[in-house]
Structure 1
Amino acid sequence: MRKFQNRSKLSQYLSEQRTKVSSIGFVPTMGALHIGHLSLVSKALSENDFVVVSVFVNPTQFDNKDDLVKYPRTLEKDIRLLKTLSENRIAVYAPTVEDIYENKVVSKSFSFNGLEHQMEGAFRDGHFDGVGTIVKRLFEIVKPDTAYFGEKDFQQLQIIKKLVELYHLPVKVIGCPIHRAEDGLALSSRNTRLTEAHREVAPFIYKTLNTAKVMFGTKSAQKVTAWVEKQFKKQPLLKVEYFIIADIETLKPVKRKSTKKSYRAFIAVYAGDIRLIDNIALN
């Protein structure tokens, strides 16, 4: 398995690969890989001749600098995991900050037709400027035919699709189902930092989302939201930052349900100082 830290060397290598293969898939990650990431890579391998996996903890999408410092970095372990899927059909791009940003580690400013102002955008200042900056940069470097993203970050997925549309980028973006632990907790690299007590109570998030989905069949969004907030007040180890039921196209909170629209429930919860997000399709 080839590993690259330099974009020029990666580009040269991929140019050579394109003479041998008909399609290149891409899975961008921030490392600390788990089975959820591997499911994305497996899908990419099943649909492409060759796959690039990037491992880069992007500084411009962290509004909390402590979170950036504490974010797990396990590159050698990540590579060992990827080798269990394929030794010859995967290349790893693990660039330095300098290789990506050169001498100016700042985000570009993006407008995603308002998608960036909802949910995560409202609570994480500049987050989606950082996401747009790094994803656009990686697409330009890798030049993939198809890129794969998990639906756990559903808002991010919608924004990346909008990025591709707005900038006419020649890449197809595929959303993949959320991968969960047996107890329902959405897999995340941050889960490794949960205390034993927080890990034990964390599945309550998905359990509550499932009940909210059932309730949404007969109750208004406002009543479901009030119920969810009440349930979390009974869980002292979990603190809700937001719970929102939104239209999946605009990501705006729903005021009145329509049978012509699709909705999703989104939640962000603090378990101690670890921030967990999840979502579920409602109809």
Structure 2
Amino acid sequence: MAIFKDIAGLRQWRQNLRGTLALVPTMGNLHDGHLALVKLAATRAEQVLVSIYVNPLQFGPQEDFANYPRTLDQDLQRLQEAGCQTVFTPDDGLMYPRGRQDISVVMPPRSLSTVLCGASRPGHFVGVCTVLNKLLHMASPEILVLGEKDYQQLRIVQQMLSDLNLNVQVLPGPLQREPDGLAYSSRNTFLSLAERQVAPLLAATLFDLARRRISGADVPGLAAAGW
């Protein structure tokens, strides 16, 4: 497996590459949802590049950056077993050589980034858009593979690429779930045993609400019934 830690080596490899390149950006602690994206990428491109980088710019001051699970050796093993042969593992010094206090950033569209997750995590999507732009300019892929689990992020990135006229196709990957219905997520490891048992009920409730709505139930009626 080729593991690049610097931009020069990555760009030299990219320059010599023949065929289409798909980039799968991750923050590591890989699970089956990530591996499904890698496999999807391989169906659309001759070469797949997975990046592993815990981006501090998308974490708020009171968020879990310090505790975010970092399992690089395990991640590389899983990627190799999945057939991925190329990985980019930059560090903070490479991504933000002058630090993060006085740098150019990419501002996402306000209409998409200040609601839902963006309302409770101000600055999060600035960090996402900035690091993705840096990765895209470093690796120059034709395809960017993103999971539909983070649907708001997916829509923001699609709009950003269009607004900035970046010639990169976004390939969405379907959300992957564990056998009990909980979506795969690196942060699932933060759940206690009791929380892990309750968590799948959220997905089950949402699916039930969707079925009821499709069957003709109106939103006020569902709310009145205690949903």
TM-score (norm 1): 0.75
The aligned amino acid for 2:100 is V
Is 1:10–2:10 an aligned residue pair? Answer: yes
Please, which of 156, 162, 175 is the counterpart of residue 159 of structure 1? 156
CA distance in structure 1 between the aligned counterparts of 2:192 and 2:130, rounded to whole angstroms: 33
More RCO (CA 8 Å, sep 6+): 2
Offset at residue 91 of structure 1 (A): 1.0
Which residue of the partner structure matches residue 40 of structure 1? Answer: 37
SS at match of 1:47: coil
Is 1:94–2:109 an aligned residue pair? Answer: no
RMSD of equivalent CA atoms: 1.7
Which residue of the partner structure matches residue 51 of structure 1? Answer: 48
How do residues 1-283 of structure 1 correspond to structure 2 at under 5 angstroms? 1-17=1-17, 21-86=18-83, 90-106=85-101, 108-112=105-109, 114-217=111-214, 218-221=216-219, 223-224=221-222, 230=226
Gaps of 5+ in 1: 232-283
Change over 3 Å in CA distance of 1:26–1:222 after alignment to 2 = farther
The aligned amino acid for 1:183 is D
Gaps of 5+ in 2: none
Change over 3 Å in CA distance of 1:138–1:208 after alignment to 2 = same
Change over 3 Å in CA distance of 1:223–1:58 after alignment to 2 = farther
TM-score (norm 2): 0.93
What number of residue pairs does the alignment pair up?
224
- Residues 108 and 156 of structure 2 are in contact (CA less than 8 Å); yes or no, is this contact kept in structure 1? no
Percent identical residues: 36
SS at match of 2:64: helix
CA distance in structure 1 between the aligned counterparts of 2:155 and 2:47, rounded to whole angstroms: 25
Task: Decide which structure has greater helix share.
Answer: 2
